[in-house]
Amino acid sequence: MTTPISRRMFLTLGATVVVAACSSSEEGQSSVATEVASTAPATSLAPPSDLPSNPFTLGVASGDPDTESVVLWTRLAIDALNGGAMPDEDIDVLWEMSTTESFDEITIAGIATASPQYGHSIHVIAAPANVTGPLHYRFRLGDYTSPIGTTRLSPSSDSLEPLKIASASCQNWTAGFYTAYQDMTELAPDLVLFLGDYIYEGGVGSLDSGDVRLHNSEEIKDLVAYRNRYGLYKSDPLLQTAHQMCPWVVTWDDHEVENNYASLTPQDIVDSEEFASRRAHAYQAWWEHMPVRLDPPIEENITIYRQISWGGLINMLVLDGRQYRNDQACGDAVLQLTPACEEALLPDRTMLGTMQETWVAENLTSESTWTILANQTVMTDIRLGAAILNYDQWDGYAPSRDRLLDVVDSAQAKNLIVLTGDIHLAGVGQLTTTSDPETPRGIEFVTTSISSSGNVDASTESLFVALTNIIDAEASHRGYILHTITPETWTAQYRIVDDAKVENSSVSNWKTFSVTKGSTTVAEI
């Protein structure tokens, strides 16, 4: 394959060279290409470097594991807040994996090339053969060595070993500290699922108005500014440690580009001409900074919806609810109690786009115990009669939701769990269709934000909980959810930070909910 990434996917494995090209089919399914035998020698010599200081300032990450390989990520940046300050040339970096943290024995290693075109980011598809346990990895360049990350492959499809997934979203730098990640690292999930709003695009902020730390620039609109913003967020040691802990599966929401954008429609129509270019820059910077098994964007688009499996336990479809959606209906109003305008109910209205809807339908059926939709915005129907409280969520795309939930039924997808972020509050909901509101099709677990401020006052909790489909809600804390998944039970433990505006604040349980296999009801335990 001659994609731009393929040269960097050139892996050296003992006496075998593995060419692992990262390719996305038109349906969005990613795959690792074939292995090619060669006689290249094993190497553990770091390429020489005359860089003036350490380029591994942004840490390391891994992600999108399958049973044969996992993506290893880093980005070289001497000065990540100022464009990276790297030489304008390709730089070769050694990567190594080992089953021991001392790296006494190298399981697999290779050379990856970081190019200035992609901000000197590196995405390696590492395919260590016959390893089922934890794997440590690092990058080396000259005398510099990156932090060590720990990752693993997905277990084989006959494995039913329990799985712990942490779901997280919304980490506005200015609004709070990343204490939730400290707790998450201590509780050691196998996988982190990040559901969007990894960065926020806004301006500097203000300590006088309640921000606890400041952004590094005015609102970001071009590639260098987006890169510098990721550089700021990824400078946080708690976030870096959480990435080092285990593989992540990442999708995006709106703030990776701009608040409440929809496809190529920006929030403010005055910006519409420039928006395609802005979005392209934002998408590229996102790709450069995430450990994703994806080709880089082509022009203004990148297909990021994809399937992740874990043993015989889960079939997870990672959704993209931003790139293909119709514009928010009825002027994108919030908390309006008047009946929705007709546009919101047009039958061809879509959240996912036709291609992604088809892809979902084709990939829902599996042998796995649990079907997960990793999703951006709230899917539970919380319409008040004909009124829609939030047009940015699935309520504003109800025909699309009905199609999705009906196809879950027709595909006989087992035990649907929807994992959601976006709304900066913790919630548990049951998923129903417009025509059959009495029959739950599955359960939605909404994580609160890691740090972003709550959108609604805590006093609204009781109003939400009074809604038929809301089982419970908590609006006043930041945190994440730790899901423990077994062949029999799904357990969602809601972890909340006492005060995310204070460093090292304590973290505790809010509540724990569970779903039993074969049931579409959820109960607090």
For residue 253, state whether it binds Ca ion (rule: CB under 5 A): yes
For residue 197, state whether it binds Fe ion (rule: CB under 5 A): yes
Between residues 197 and 402, which has the closer beta carbon with respect to Fe ion? Answer: 197
- Least Å distance, CB 129 to Ca ion, is 40
Name the one range near Fe ion by CB under 5 A: 5-13, 81-89, 108-116, 169-177. Answer: 169-177
Name the one range near Ca ion by CB under 5 A: 69-77, 82-90, 95-103, 195-203. Answer: 195-203
- Cα–Cα–Cα angle for 156, 158, 159, rounded to 5 degrees: 70
- Least Å distance, CB 423 to Ca ion, is 8
Q: Which two tokens stand for residue 110?
A: 């290779």
Distances, alpha carbon 36 to alpha carbons 7, 12, 23, 71, 130, in Å: 14, 11, 16, 19, 18
Name the one range near Fe ion by CB under 5 A: 14-22, 193-201, 367-375, 393-401. Answer: 193-201
Which 8-state DSSP code applies to residue 518? Answer: T
Out of Fe ion, Ca ion, none, which partner does residue 469 contact, by CB within 5 to 8 A per kind?
A: none
Between residues 68 and 332, which has the closer beta carbon with respect to Ca ion? Answer: 332
For residue 254, state whether it binds Ca ion (rule: CB under 5 A): yes
Out of Fe ion, Ca ion, none, which partner does residue 64 contact, by CB within 5 to 8 A per kind?
A: none
Between residues 183 and 253, which has the closer beta carbon with respect to Ca ion? Answer: 253
Residue 273 sits at φ, ψ, to 5 deg, of -70, -40
Distances, alpha carbon 165 to alpha carbons 239, 304, 513, in Å: 16, 20, 14
> Residue 257's closest CA among 292, 210, 222?
222
SS3 40: coil
- Least Å distance, CB 283 to Ca ion, is 16
How many chain residues bind Fe ion (CB under 5 A)?
Answer: 3
Between residues 256 and 288, which has the closer beta carbon with respect to Ca ion? Answer: 256
Between residues 284 and 452, which has the closer beta carbon with respect to Fe ion? Answer: 452
Q: Which two tokens stand for residue 143?
A: 């005398």
Rg (CA), the chain: 22
Nearby residues of 519 by Cβ (< 8 Å), 6 or more positions away = none
DSSP conformation letters of 286-297: HHHHS--S-PPP
d(CA 197, CA 321): 13
Name the one range near Fe ion by CB under 5 A: 64-72, 99-107, 140-148, 163-171. Answer: 163-171
Between residues 258 and 422, which has the closer beta carbon with respect to Ca ion? Answer: 422
Count of other CB atoms within 10 angstroms of residue 378: 24
Between residues 350 and 377, which has the closer beta carbon with respect to Fe ion? Answer: 377
Question: Footprint of Fe ion on residues 449-468 (CB under 5 A)?
Answer: 452
For residue 211, state whether it binds Ca ion (rule: CB under 5 A): no
For residue 422, state whether it binds Ca ion (rule: CB under 5 A): yes
Between residues 171 and 433, which has the closer beta carbon with respect to Fe ion? Answer: 171
Q: Are 449 and 171 in contact (CB under 8 A)?
A: yes
Question: Footprint of Fe ion on residues 2-31 (CB under 5 A)?
Answer: none
d(CA 459, CA 477): 13
For residue 170, state whether it binds Fe ion (rule: CB under 5 A): yes
- Least Å distance, CB 352 to Fe ion, is 20
Q: Which two tokens stand for residue 29?
A: 């399914």
d(CA 494, CA 352): 28
d(CA 383, CA 395): 7
Out of Fe ion, Ca ion, none, which partner does residue 96 contact, by CB within 5 to 8 A per kind?
A: none
d(CA 19, CA 17): 6
Between residues 247 and 321, which has the closer beta carbon with respect to Ca ion? Answer: 321
Out of Ca ion, Fe ion, none, which partner does residue 254 contact, by CB within 5 to 8 A per kind?
A: Ca ion
For residue 402, state whether it binds Fe ion (rule: CB under 5 A): no
Pick from 66, 183, 190, 197 the residue near Ca ion by CB under 5 A. 197
SS3 177: coil
d(CA 144, CA 490): 43
For residue 201, state whether it binds Ca ion (rule: CB under 5 A): no
Q: Are 67 and 154 in contact (CB under 8 A)?
A: yes
- Cα–Cα–Cα angle for 146, 150, 153, rounded to 5 degrees: 130
Out of Fe ion, Ca ion, none, which partner does residue 71 contact, by CB within 5 to 8 A per kind?
A: none
Between residues 252 and 513, which has the closer beta carbon with respect to Ca ion? Answer: 252
For residue 378, state whether it binds Fe ion (rule: CB under 5 A): no
Positions touching Fe ion (CB under 5 A) are 170, 197, 452
Positions touching Ca ion (CB under 5 A) are 197, 253-254, 422
